[in-house]
DNA sequence: GTGCTTGCAAAGTTTTTGCATCGCT
DNA sequence: AGCGATGCAAAAACTTTGCAAGCAC
C-alpha cells in the first residue's frame, strides 16, 4: 500500500504549484501521474506508470497517461530518458543528472551532469554540437553483470 | 542507380569472408543486407534497409531482414546504435566510433571513441560500470538547429 | 462559458514469432 | 543430408489519434 508521508505530500504540492505556474491544468490524471512519480521516486517507464496508476487511481486511460507525460515534459516538470532497447523512462526533473543503464540487467545509475563536461566541451569545439547529457542514457555493463 | 565499384566489390567480398570466418552462412538475404550496407555506406535504420533491399533485391521478407541483422550483429559484422525516439540504426562495424544525433534534424555525426575515454574512465572508477560508447548515441543539437 | 482534457476504441508503427519449406555447407 | 535460414502471416509491444463528452479555470 502506498502511504503519502508529510515529505512527499509537500513535495507533491510544490510540484502542483510548478504546474500551475507553467500554465498547466491540475486535472485528475495529472495529479495521479505526479502522485506516482513523487511516491515511487524512481525511474519509471510509461508502462510502469500505467500499471501503477491503474492500481492507485483506477479508471485512467493509458492514452491519457501518455498525453499527461508529454504535457508535463513540455512544461519542464518531468524528463524522459532514452535507454537503448527498452522504452524510455520518466522522472521528475530535479537537479540535472545523467544516467547509466546496464545492457544486461537494466539497472539505472544516476550520475552528475558534470561527468559529461569534458566530453561536452570537446564535442562542442570539434563539431559545433551541443550535447544534452540527460536525454539519452549511457549504455554499458554494471559490475554485477560483468562477471 | 546503384553501381558497385571495384572498391565496394572488394569490400563486400572481404565482409563475406568475415561472415564465413565467424561461422555465418552466406545466404541470399545476408548478401543483400551486406550489399546495401556496403553500397550506401551510411547509417540505416531497419526500415531503411527493408525499403532499399526491396528495391535492389526484391522478394526478401522484412522479418528475415530483422533476423539477418540480429545474426550479423551477434557475429560482430554489424553494430546497431540507439538514438532516442527514432529507431536504432545499423552500420558495418569498423574502427570503433561513437555517434552524435541531433534531436531536431536527426543528423548523425561520427566521433572517435577516444572522446569518451575520460568519461568512461571516471565512470569506471566511481561506479564500477563499463561504458559501451558505441551502443547509444549522444543526443543534442547540431549547429544548424541551434539557430 | 471556453478551450483544454479525457475516455474509449481504433489504427499506427516497429519488431517478433510460429511453422512448414528451402537451401547453404 | 542436416540443420540453420527463409517466407508468410499472424501476433506482440508500444504509442498515437479521432471524436464526443467532461472539467478546470
Radius of gyration of chain B (CA): 17
CA of B64 to C1' of D19 (A): 39
| Cβ proximity of B29 and B62 under 8 Å | no
CA of A45 to C1' of D24 (A): 28
B3-23 average pLDDT score: 82
Domain locations in chain B as residue ranges: 6-92, 97-146
Chain B residues with at least one Cβ partner in A under 8 Å: 82-85, 88, 100, 102-103, 109, 111, 115-116, 118-119, 122-123, 126-133, 135-143, 146
In this model, does residue A62 exceed pLDDT 80?
yes
| Chain B, nearest residue to A113 by Cα | B119
Task: Give SS3 for B81.
Answer: strand
Residue with cell 560483468: A146
In this complex, which of B119, B133, B141 lies closest to A132 when CB atoms are compared?
Answer: B141
Cell of A106: 537494466
Give Cβ neighbours of residue A135 (< 8 Å, ≥ 6 apart).
A79, A81, A82, B84, B103, B139, B140
Distance from CA of B107 to the nearest CA of A (A): 11
Q: Flag the least confident range among A31-40, A45-54, A57-66, A91-100.
A: A91-100
Give Cβ neighbours of residue A50 (< 8 Å, ≥ 6 apart).
A62, A65
A112-142, pLDDT tens digit by residue?
999 999 999 999 999 999 999 999 999 999 9
Residue with cell 509537500: A10
Task: Give SS3 for A129.
Answer: strand
CATH homologous superfamily of domain B97-146?
Ferric-uptake regulator, C-terminal dimerisarion domain (3.30.1490.190)
- Count CA atoms closer than 13 A to B8's CA, side-chain side: 13
Q: Select from 3.20.20.110, 3.40.462.40, 1.10.10.10, 2.30.30.110 the CATH code of A6-92.
A: 1.10.10.10
A69-80 average pLDDT score: 95
In this model, does residue A2 exceed pLDDT 60?
no
Nearest Cα residue to A33 out of A3, A72, A6? A72
B80-112, pLDDT tens digit by residue?
999 888 889 999 987 678 999 998 888 999 999
* Burial of B23 (C-beta count, 10 Å sphere; 0-12/13-18/19+): exposed
What is the pTM (predicted TM-score) of this model? 0.87
Amino acid at each position: 500500500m502506498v502511504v503519502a508521508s508529510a515529505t512527499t505530500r509537500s513535495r507533491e504540492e510544490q510540484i502542483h504549484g510548478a504546474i500551475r505556474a507553467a500554465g498547466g491544468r491540475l486535472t485528475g490524471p495529472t495529479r495521479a501521474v505526479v502522485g506516482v512519480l513523487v511516491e515511487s521516486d524512481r525511474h519509471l517507464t510509461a508502462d510502469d506508470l500505467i500499471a501503477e496508476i491503474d492500481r492507485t487511481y483506477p479508471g485512467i486511460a493509458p492514452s491519457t497517461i501518455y498525453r499527461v507525460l508529454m504535457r508535463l515534459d513540455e512544461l519542464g516538470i518531468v524528463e524522459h530518458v532514452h535507454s537503448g532497447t527498452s522504452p524510455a523512462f520518466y522522472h521528475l526533473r530535479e537537479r540535472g543528472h545523467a544516467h547509466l543503464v546496464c545492457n544486461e540487467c537494466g539497472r539505472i545509475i544516476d550520475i552528475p551532469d558534470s561527468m559529461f563536461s569534458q566530453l561536452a566541451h570537446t564535442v562542442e569545439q570539434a563539431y559545433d554540437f551541443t550535447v544534452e547529457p540527460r536525454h539519452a542514457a549511457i549504455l554499458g555493463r554494471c559490475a554485477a553483470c560483468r562477471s
